[in-house]
Amino acid sequence: MDHADSQTLHHPADPSLLDVDTVARELGVDPLTGLSEDEAARRLATDGPNELRGRKPVPLWRKILAQFQDPLIYLLLAAVAISLVSWVIEGAHGTPVDALVIAAIIVLNAVLGYTQEARAEDAVAALDSMTAAASTVLRGGQLRTIASTDLVRGDVLVLDEGAAVGADARLLSASSLRVQEASLTGESEAVVKDPTTLAEPVPLGDRLDMVFKGTSVTQGTGRAVVTGTGMATEVGAIAEMMDATVEEPTPLQNEVTSIGKTLGAGVVVIAIVVMLTIILVDGVREPSDLVVVLLLGVSLAVAAVPEGLPTILSVVLAIGVQRMAKRNAVVKKLSSVEALGSASVICTDKTGTLTRNEMTIQRIVTASGTAEVSGVGYRPQGEVRSDGLPLHGAQLQEARLVLGAGSLANDAQLAERAGAWEIVGDPTEAAFLVAARKLEGTTEEMRRLERRAEIPFTSDRKMMSTLHENPGDGTRLVLSKGAPDVLLARCTQQQVGNQTVPLTDETRSARLAEIETLSAGAYRTLGVAYRRVTDEPAGSDPAATGGMDESWERDLVYVGVVGIIDPARSEVSGAIDEAHRAGIRVIMITGDHPTTARRIAEDLGIIEAGGRAATGAELDTLDDDALRDLTREVSVYARVAPEHKLRLVDALQSDGQIVSMTGDGVNDAPALKSADIGVAMGITGTEVTKEAARMILADDNFATIVAAVRQGRVIFENIKKFLRYLLSSNMGEVLTVFLGVVLAGVIGLNEASDGSDLVLPLLATQILWINLITDSTPALAMGIDPEIDDVMARGPRKLTDRAIDARMWRGIVSIGLVMALATLFAIDLFLPGGLVDSDDNLEVARTAGFTTLVFAQLFNSLNARSETTSAFHGLFANTWLWGAIALGVVLQVAVVEIPFLQTAFGTEALDLTHWAVCVALGSVVLWYDELRKLVLRLAERRRTG
**Helical packing angle, 309-326 and 702-742, nearest 10°:** 160
CB 143 within 8 A of CB 424: yes
Q: Determine the 3-state secondary structure of 331 from DSSP.
A: strand
66: Cβ contacts below 8 Å, ≥ 6 apart: none
> Do the bridges between strand 556-565 and strand 524-532 make them parallel or antiparallel, or are there none, so unpaired?
antiparallel
What CA–CA distance (Å, rounded) separates 312 from 120?
9
Which H or E element spans position 614?
Answer: strand 614-615
Burial of 43 (0-12, 13-18, 19+ CB in 10 A): buried
C-alpha span between 860 and 913 (Å, rounded): 22
User: Which of 7, 8, 12 shows the shortest CA–CA distance to 232?
Assistant: 12
Q: Which helix (H) or strand (E) holds 144?
A: strand 142-147
Closest C-alpha among 623, 669, 661 to residue 643: 669
Residue type, 686: T
Q: How far apart are the first and last CA of the chain?
A: 79
C-alpha span between 852 and 831 (Å, rounded): 15
What DSSP element (H or E) covers 390?
A: strand 389-390
Burial of 823 (0-12, 13-18, 19+ CB in 10 A): buried
Residue 296: name the closest of 760, 731, 751, 770 by CA: 760
Of 725, 694, 729, 688, residue with least CA distance to 709: 694
Cite the beta strand spans of 153-259 per DSSP E.
Answer: 156-159, 168-180, 191-192, 210-211, 216-228
Give residues with Cβ within 8 angstroms of 686, minimum separation 6.
161, 162, 163, 164, 664, 665, 666
Phi, psi of 661 (to 5 degrees): -130, 130
Inter-residue contact 560 to 494 (CB < 8 Å)? no
CA distance 635 to 218: 29
Residue 410 to residue 425: CA distance in whole angstroms = 9
Whole-number Å distance between alpha carbons of 380 and 360: 10
Largest Cα span, the chain? 119
| Residue 164 DSSP label | B
349 has catalytic annotation: yes
The rounded distance, in Å, linking the Cα atoms of 38 and 44 is: 10
Of 98, 155, 209, 349, which residue is the catalytic one?
349
The residues, ordered by sequence, that sit 6+ positions from 617 with a Cβ below 8 Å of its Cβ are 639
| Radius of gyration (C-alpha) of the chain in whole angstroms | 36
Q: What is the DSSP string of 566-580?
A: -PBPTTHHHHHHHHH
- Cα separation of 125 and 118, whole Å? 10
Residue 677 to residue 675: CA distance in whole angstroms: 5
Q: What are phi and psi of 527, to 5 degrees?
A: -95, 160
Strand pairing report for 677-681 and 134-139: unpaired
Could you tell me which residues come within 8 angstroms of residue 857 by beta carbon, excluding any fewer than 6 positions away?
Answer: 729, 732, 770, 774, 778, 819
CA distance 765 to 906: 8
User: Is 412:158 a contact under the CB 8 Å cutoff?
Assistant: no
Q: Which residues are catalytically annotated?
A: 349
